[in-house]
């Protein structure tokens, strides 16, 4: 069953279609994701907190959802916008349709609109605040609500999605998936403390795959508390929102640099960049998808990567005497990776755990393992 629904943008443009999922209203920054598959992983990525996600692939939901593919305990998107939402699910693993999955968490869906026109509008204007509603029909009221939605710039969302308490993670990748190593090392060979700013489960699985015993800690955990655990390495996770307000966590990360090997992904790169004196800025419409080309400056190879971020690190604010850029985005030349020239630290802006996405960059987990071996 569907019902009338509307997306209203802060600049006054509105899109009318059919609603699905939960009846209701949701607001957030409207962004688009160019992946052809992996929609359940997108729904449940905490980095999408505060955002309405437009999927550019026109046919969504045909393989349903299942308990194993979620990247967190619940969906974090504010709303979903799609061209066509499949009412038929054809996969032996499916337990709920995408419609049922999001409806069970109170998340509205807007379908049957021209998503190509919407994406072209966002590419021209930049990411816009918006409201999806199946309750209100007055365009002027919806546009006013979109304009009243908090801007993503300056917004700390990571603190709201981080775990409230530390916990131990021991699950590795499913046996049906290839390991990132030729032969899996003994589990527990290393102890890694993972800062949770909105961490994805497959990151934790990949850390276990390299032999790590993983303790996940809240994003506000002090450096002293981390060092008291005596980890072999520290991982800094992805997460939503603007990194700039996270001055407290950045200051704690600064105290860890040089004392323990550190690996960061996505928001983790931005926070480590801030910890080393760098500045971040908001991208026009962000990078969201699993087909972004990144050049590895050391190997000369191009990696096709999975990405989800709306902010980037300004390379001009980094000290070239202490920081080496290792990866750049081939679409817009933004920073995709750096490492310290003197301390055991490296990070990337994209998602090498690839859920969803290609596996080109899983070698980075092995590099983290080697960094810990070298420091032991």
What are the catalytic residues? 266, 351, 353
Q: Which residue has the tokens 């990405």?
A: 307
Contact by Cβ (8 Å): 294, 350: yes
Give residues with Cβ within 8 angstroms of 136, minimum separation 6.
Answer: 6, 25, 142, 145
* Torsional class of 267: left (φ above 0), alpha (ψ -120 to 50), beta (otherwise): alpha
**Helix ranges, the chain (H):** 39-43, 98-103, 115-125, 139-148, 158-161, 201-209, 223-228, 247-256, 267-275, 363-375
Question: Is cis: bond before 356, omega within 30 of 0?
Answer: yes
For the record, the structure tokens of 15 come out as 């899109």
For the record, the structure tokens of 283 come out as 């991208």
Q: CA torsion, points 208, 214, 218, 221, in degrees to nearest 10?
A: -130
DSSP labels, 13-50: -EEEEEEEESSSEEEEEEEEE--SS-HHHHHT-GGGTT
Q: Which residue has the tokens 């996505």?
A: 266
Cα 249 from chain centroid (whole Å): 18
The rounded distance, in Å, linking the Cα atoms of 113 and 313 is 34
């Amino acid at each position: 069953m569907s019902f009338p629904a509307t997306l209203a943008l802060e600049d006054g443009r509105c899109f009318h279609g059919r609603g699905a999922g939960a009846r209701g209203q949701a607001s957030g920054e409207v962004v688009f994701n160019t992946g052809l598959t992996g929609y359940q992983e997108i729904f449940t990525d905490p980095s999408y907190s505060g955002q309405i996600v437009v999927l550019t692939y026109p046919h969504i939901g045909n393989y349903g959802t299942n308990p194993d593919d979620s990247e967190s305990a619940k969906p974090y998107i504010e709303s979903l916008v799609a061209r066509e939402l499949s009412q038929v699910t054809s996969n032996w693993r499916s337990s709920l349709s995408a419609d049922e999955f999001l409806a069970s968490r109170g998340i509205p869906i807007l379908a049957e609109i021209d998503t190509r026109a919407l994406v072209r509008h966002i590419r021209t204007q930049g990411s816009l605040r918006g409201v999806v509603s199946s309750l209100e029909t007055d365009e002027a009221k919806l546009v006013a609500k979109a304009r009243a939605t908090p801007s993503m710039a300056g917004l700390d969302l990571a603190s709201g999605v981080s775990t409230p308490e530390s916990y131990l993670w021991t699950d590795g990748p499913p046996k049906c998936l290839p390991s990132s190593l030729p032969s899996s090392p003994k589990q527990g060979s290393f102890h890694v403390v993972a800062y949770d700013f909105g961490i994805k489960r497959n990151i934790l699985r990949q850390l276990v795959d390299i032999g790590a015993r993983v303790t996940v800690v809240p994003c506000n955990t002090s450096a002293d508390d981390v060092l008291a655990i005596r980890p072999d390495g520290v991982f800094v996770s992805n997460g939503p929102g603007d990194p700039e307000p996270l001055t407290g966590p950045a200051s704690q990360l600064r105290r860890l640099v040089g004392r323990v090997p550190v690996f960061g992904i996505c928001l983790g790169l931005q926070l480590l960049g801030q910890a080393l004196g760098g500045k971040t800025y908001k991208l026009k419409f962000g990078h969201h998808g699993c087909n972004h080309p990144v050049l590895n400056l050391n190997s000369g190879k191009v990696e096709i990567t999975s990405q989800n971020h709306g902010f980037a690190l300004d390379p001009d604010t980094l000290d070239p005497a202490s920081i080496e850029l290792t990866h750049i985005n081939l679409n817009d030349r933004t920073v995709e990776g750096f490492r310290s020239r003197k301390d055991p630290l490296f990070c990337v802006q994209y998602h090498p755990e690839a859920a969803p996405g290609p596996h080109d960059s899983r070698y980075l987990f092995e590099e983290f393992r080697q960094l810990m071996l070298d420091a032991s």
